Chain A
Amino acid sequence: MCLVGCSSPKRPRTVGAGPINCSIESCPAKRNFVIVFGDAGQGDHNAGRMFEIAARTHEREVRSNTFPGVPRFNSTDGLVVTHISDVLGLIAQLRVANVVYLAYFGHSGPTRGGPGALFIGETAAAGSNLTIRGNSQGAPATDIPATLFRSDGQVRLFGCRGGFGTDPIARQMADQLRIPVYAYTDSGGSLFTTDATLGHSGRGVTQADIKFKFPSSINNSTNVWLVPINGTPNFQRFGK
């Protein structure tokens, strides 16, 4: 419903499978930015607090509009950074609705003989992976209601091989949500870096980056980026 200063009447939101098109439908002024980070992982794949620290870095860059390609953050917008361990946790965060940006920091990659996945949880619990694979651990991207997103929104996956392989998770999410999903197409795993140029895909990874030793004192205020460990970080757009 349009009350004041509207050039054309807007239709109320109706139930549908796609994201909200705010050019023809009524949308709240407050848009929502959601940044989530998954479980740390186990053994040699234990990222400890690095996913959270990278997510906090991203939060600062989103708020200051300094990360290339992310929707512009306005003072009236909402932003949440939180930990999730399964797909239900992700959907719970998206329930704020009118989501213009979702960023995921965590484990991801291809599965054996099957589609790519977000390995949100580190255990074998039901729904701990986002993937169309179809076993009890995997919940498909179709479980995420596209109606929680705005049609001018986007998703950005910060994790290993989110756009790599024959049926990457970025493609599955783009097909379901009908908004652009950006993910690394590099074949290698992930690397954490304190270099902003590398973090913004401004150069390739060197041996010095791989051998760099983080001080044990890093915390939530330390700027850390997550990039692929090989080559120049390549964020590819999937979907429209």
Chain B
Amino acid sequence: MKYGALICGTIRVWVVVCLSWALLFPSCVADPSGMGTDGQSTVADAEVNRIVNNINLIAGLSVKRGEPQWDEHAALIVNLGAPAAPHLIDRITDTSPSKVGESFQYMIGDVALALLYDIYEPEAWPFPDEPHKIPEKYGDFRDYVDFINSDGAREQLQASWRRYINDPYTNDPRRDRSQVPGGF
């Protein structure tokens, strides 16, 4: 009984401390969108850029859509949320090799694209903002490889993603994803 009361008392103290911390410093509380209560990023842009620059350290990607990234560098970037997007979009055209190999050799731009999908979860792929379909010859990842290695493909994707994140509809958390045209 004595130990039980001691444990309960300790828990009560921690609950009070945690609640007080959350009330005093709301922007420090975990926020999956990466945005504070005022809509601003909780992490300075320079820090966001520094974390995104570790994209070349990512050793592997989660192979199932919706699965949290298991690689710590990938998880850190995805956890930044929307503030990471402009930096990732900048990297879509980066054709230097990454450490990631999942059926094919991922370039940095391919990893950036995968992380953007994790953050926004658009229905359409690989263009998030339109029902544009890449040519389907194989019906698997090889179609993406062929497409992404074609002239101007990365620039097209980059433009599509810039339109997508700047669309107020994209950033409305109440949006109905089923209304987004296209799909896997």
- Please report A residues at the B interface, Cβ cutoff 8 Å: 40-50, 107-113, 119, 122, 124, 129, 160-161, 187-192, 210-211, 213-214, 216, 229-230
Query: What residue in chain B is nearest A228 (Cβ atoms)?
Result: B101
Nearest CB of chain A from residue B127's CB, rounded to whole Å: 12
Nearest CB of chain B from residue A230's CB, rounded to whole Å: 6
Nearest CB of chain B from residue A40's CB, rounded to whole Å: 7
Within 8 Å by CB of B105, from A107, A113, A160, A210, lies A210
B42 at the interface (CB under 8 A from A): no
Instruction: Tell me the dominant secondary structure on chain A's binding face.
Output: loop
Q: Top 5 A-B pairs ranked by shortest CB distance? A: A48-B140, A189-B102, A112-B68, A229-B101, A119-B64
| Cβ contacts under 8 Å, A48 to chain B | 138-142
Instruction: Tell me the dominant secondary structure on chain B's binding face.
Output: loop
Contact B66 A112 (CB under 8 A): no
Q: A43 and B117 in contact (CB under 8 A), knowing A109-B62, A109-B63, A189-B60?
A: yes
| Cβ contacts under 8 Å, A190 to chain B | 102-103
Say which size band chain B's interface belongs to.
Answer: 20 to 34
B184 at the interface (CB under 8 A from A): yes
B2 at the interface (CB under 8 A from A): no
Q: State A109–B103 Cα separation when bound (angstroms).
A: 14
B43 at the interface (CB under 8 A from A): no
Contact B137 A230 (CB under 8 A): no
Contact A112 B70 (CB under 8 A): yes
Nearest CB of chain A from residue B121's CB, rounded to whole Å: 11
